[in-house]
């Protein structure tokens, strides 16, 4: 049995979509010095934010060598690590930031594709 959506349901869904489009993202990217891997992570995450979250994100880049207490407080065990603090839920991405699609899905900027669920 398929549920039919009423006009009220559709309006609620559209309002939720508009609210999601206006939410501010607070992100922290932990890197280890100025290694090529760290630089690539910074470029990738910054480009994703500029493309998908223009004007509605805060991205703080933290070098774990220069600010080890911040890394310890967040229990960072590997770098690079990207943490989405807001909007909830909190999410962590550890390791290479090269898989842009995985990051977009994790940030709730793209829906998870059925084949993605099979590989997890």
pLDDT digits (tens, 9 = 90+) for 47-80: 999 999 999 999 999 999 999 999 999 999 999 9
What confidence score (pLDDT) does residue 116 get?
46
Instruction: Give me the pLDDT at residue 74, please.
Output: 92
What's the CA gap between 80 and 35, in Å, rounded? Answer: 10
Coil, strand, or helix at residue 79?
A: coil
pLDDT at res. 120: 47
pLDDT confidence of residue 62: 97
For residue 110, what pLDDT is reported? 83
- β-strands 91-94, 81-86 pairing: antiparallel
pTM to 2 decimal places:
0.76
Encoded tokens for 60: 């703080």
Give the CB-side neighbour count of residue 112, counting CA atoms within 13 A.
9
Cis bond before residue 89 (omega within 30° of 0): yes
Regarding the domain delimited by 24-109, which CATH topology (the fold level of the hierarchy) does it fall under? Glutaredoxin (3.40.30)
Within the chain, which residues score under 50 in pLDDT? 116-120
């Amino acid at each position: 049995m398929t549920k039919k959506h009423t006009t009220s349901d559709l309006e609620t869904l559209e309002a939720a979509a508009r609210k999601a489009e206006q939410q501010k993202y607070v992100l922290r990217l932990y890197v280890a010095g100025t290694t090529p891997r760290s630089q690539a992570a910074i470029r990738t995450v910054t480009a994703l934010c500029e493309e998908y979250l223009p004007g509605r994100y805060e991205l703080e880049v933290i070098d774990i060598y220069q600010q080890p207490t911040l890394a310890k407080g967040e229990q960072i065990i590997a770098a690079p690590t990207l943490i989405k603090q807001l909007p909830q839920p909190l999410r962590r991405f550890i390791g290479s930031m090269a898989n842009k699609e995985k990051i977009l899905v994790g940030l709730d900027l793209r829906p998870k594709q059925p084949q993605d669920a099979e590989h997890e």
